[in-house]
Amino acid sequence: MSLRLTTAGESHGPALVAIVTGLPAGLVLDRATIDADLARRQQGYGRSPRQKLEQDTVEVLAGLRRGRTLGTPLALVVRNRDHANWEWGMSPWPPEGEPSGKGTKPVTLPRPGHADLAGAEKFGLADARDALERASARQTAVAVAAGAVAKALLAEIGIDVLGRVVTEALEQRIDEARAERDTVGGVVEVRAHGIPPGLGSYATKEERLDARLAAALMGIQAVKGAEIGAGFELAERRGSDAHDEILADADGTLYRETNHAGGIEGGVSNGEPVVVRAAMKPLPTLMRPLRSVDLETGKAGEALVERSDVAAVEALAVVAEAAVAFELARAAREKFGGDSLDDFVAAHRAYVERIPWRMR
């Protein structure tokens, strides 16, 4: 039983779509809870006015009846309200009438740091918009909706997942960058509590939980570094100061006093909280554009300027939380299986009763 997520949707197209397969039947979903995560993704210091325009909400087209999953593919939709301004420019079919609104002129001045140039070259595009519309992180909205579903599933077995910003003085850095029409990045951390030992496997690299979580984080736009536990800092430490000693309570329950490993040893969760970090680069769309070359004329120019965030680090905390939750839910589905939620929960209960582990 494996959980899978497939998404589609362009930044200014009609909607973003996600299909989640591999959910058990009988999981209760709450629309307000999913919408609350969508709202969290849109908030944060340094975001562009587009976020006020969108006010994302989730629609469900399939896989849910009266708030309970059917164990069939779950189809989620988040509409792009901004599409109203791009109806001609982003029409899925050949547009009718005179060009109007946004996106009518081709993008020929690629932004350094974005997918514009690489995408135009890869697909042989005359209009880099054909690349940037999907490369854009707008699609993370529907991934956050899928992450909220994953969190609902994980909550049934006592797991909670929370992302937060760990960059210091972020607001000040954003204010300074905005004043100079520049952008900034930052670092986020995601912690998951209640993870039993045994998710993932050392058997193959595809199964290693650390590799899977790193891929989940690196799969997010603008993430250029991922760490598990103390990560890069571990390289500086001695073994005696790096590894988390194993201790036992009077009743034989095993525990650790430190968690430098971030809850994963040998690619397998070890029962401690899972802790991962992601480093985000500064956003590539600058209001004071960098040098670029016009792909149509070959002449030097300045990169595309489009309404854009100064920073999206707080949004990344929510997106990373969703990505980690989805991957953990996938690992939990592999371990505990079950067509119905009751079967899934019962398998988890039987397993944790067998091992000397206390939830932390």
304 burial type by CB count under 10 A (0-12 exposed, 13-18 middle, 19+ buried): buried
Cα angle 154, 213, 122 (rounded to 5 degrees) comes to 125
Report the distance separating Cα 297 and Cα 294, nearest Å. 6
Residue 338 φ/ψ, nearest 5 degrees? 95, 130
Window contacting ligand FMN (CB under 6 A); options: 90-98, 111-119, 153-161, 196-204: 111-119
Binding mask 243-282 for ligand FMN (x = CB under 6 A): --------------------------------------x-
Is 293 a binder of ligand FMN (CB under 6 A)? no
Is 7 a binder of ligand FMN (CB under 6 A)? no
Q: How far is the CB of 322 from ligand FMN (least distance, A)?
A: 11
356 burial type by CB count under 10 A (0-12 exposed, 13-18 middle, 19+ buried): middle
Window contacting ligand FMN (CB under 6 A); options: 99-107, 239-247, 283-291, 330-338: 283-291
Is 283 a binder of ligand FMN (CB under 6 A)? yes
> Quick one: which of 80, 136, 167, 270 contacts ligand FMN (CB under 6 A)?
136
Is 222 a binder of ligand FMN (CB under 6 A)? yes
Kindly tell me which of 217 and 332 has the beta carbon lying closer to ligand FMN.
217
Is 135 a binder of ligand FMN (CB under 6 A)? yes
> Quick one: which of 17, 115, 145, 329 contacts ligand FMN (CB under 6 A)?
115
Q: How far is the CB of 82 from ligand FMN (least distance, A)?
A: 13
96 burial type by CB count under 10 A (0-12 exposed, 13-18 middle, 19+ buried): exposed
Is the separation of the CB atoms in 92 and 14 below 8 Å? yes
Window contacting ligand FMN (CB under 6 A); options: 86-94, 251-259, 260-268, 304-312: 304-312
Q: How far is the CB of 310 from ligand FMN (least distance, A)?
A: 8
Is the separation of the CB atoms in 76 and 18 below 8 Å? yes
Is the separation of the CB atoms in 2 and 334 below 8 Å? yes
Is 285 a binder of ligand FMN (CB under 6 A)? yes
Tell me the two tokens of residue 220: 């997010």
Report the distance separating Cα 319 and Cα 143, nearest Å. 7
Q: Nearest Cα to 320, choosing from 225, 199, 178? A: 225
Alpha carbon of 353 to those of 73, 281, 324, 329, 349: distances in Å?
Answer: 32, 43, 25, 20, 6
Alpha carbon of 303 to those of 130, 281, 323: distances in Å?
Answer: 16, 18, 31
Kindly tell me which of 284 and 338 has the beta carbon lying closer to ligand FMN.
284
Q: How far is the CB of 273 from ligand FMN (least distance, A)?
A: 24
Is 214 a binder of ligand FMN (CB under 6 A)? no
Chain positions 316 to 335 lying near ligand FMN, rule: CB under 6 A, are 316, 319
Tell me the two tokens of residue 126: 């005359």
Number of residues that bind ligand FMN (CB under 6 A): 21
Is 165 a binder of ligand FMN (CB under 6 A)? no
Is the separation of the CB atoms in 65 and 20 below 8 Å? no
Kindly tell me which of 47 and 151 has the beta carbon lying closer to ligand FMN.
47
Is 221 a binder of ligand FMN (CB under 6 A)? yes
Is 39 a binder of ligand FMN (CB under 6 A)? no
Is 108 a binder of ligand FMN (CB under 6 A)? no
Q: Which residues bind ligand FMN (CB under 6 A)?
A: 48, 113-115, 135-137, 140, 220-222, 281, 283-285, 308-309, 312, 315-316, 319
